[in-house]
Structure 1
Amino acid sequence: MSPEVRTFVAGGPLPDWDASEEENDRRDRQLVAIPKPVTAEEALVLVSCFGPDDCYGVAWTLLHLIETGPNPVLTARPAHDATEWHQRLYDRAGGL
């Protein structure tokens, strides 16, 4: 796993809309520093980094980064209480 992915994942889930601009910018910089395409292992751990909302668009960047790796990342339908981002990843991969 790349050091950039490790750093991003260590930061935990993306913050919500109440986070500071500095925090959002920091997470965005970490995300764009991750080399593409990601590996299957990296894609799987990155799935855990979605937060409660779109984090001012950063969640979309995360989704697109995950999609650079081997698909599908999620091979089973997400649980009913899963985030909308997990459901989007699943649906965009064809909803197996």
Structure 2
Amino acid sequence: MRPEVQTFVADGTLPDWDASEEEIDRRVRQLEAISRPVTAEEATALVASFGPDDCYGVAWTLLHLIETGPNPVLTTKPASDANEWHDRLWRRAVNGRLVPGDLTA
């Protein structure tokens, strides 16, 4: 795994909307330092970095970065109490017909 990905993952989940502007900017710079595409191992590690909300759109950047790797990262429906971003990744894989799944359940 590349050092840029290791650094991002080691810093934990994305902060929530209450984080300082400096903290959010720092995490954005970390994401921007990761060149695309990511490997399967990197994508899997990055999935754990989603925070409790969209972090002013930074979570979308993370989602799109993960999707540059070999898809899909999530092949089974996340538990009902899973992070909303995990559910979103899985739903996008189902919609893209990358994995079988029922979106009505």
Normalising by the residue count of structure 1, what TM-score does the alignment of the two structures yield?
0.97
The match for 1:67 is 67
The match for 1:20 is 20
Letter in 2 for 1:66: I
Bigger radius of gyration among the two: 2
Letter in 2 for 1:47: V
Q: How many aligned residue pairs are there? A: 96
Deviation of the 1:24 alpha carbon: 0.2
**5+ unaligned residues in a row in structure 1: which ranges?**
none
Identify which of structures 1 and 2 has the higher relative contact order when contacts are C-alpha pairs closer than 8 Å and 6+ apart. 1
**5+ unaligned residues in a row in structure 2: which ranges?**
101-105
The match for 1:77 is 77
RMSD: 0.8
The match for 2:103 is none
- State percent identity of aligned pairs: 76
Runs of 4+ in 1 over 4 A off after TM superposition: none
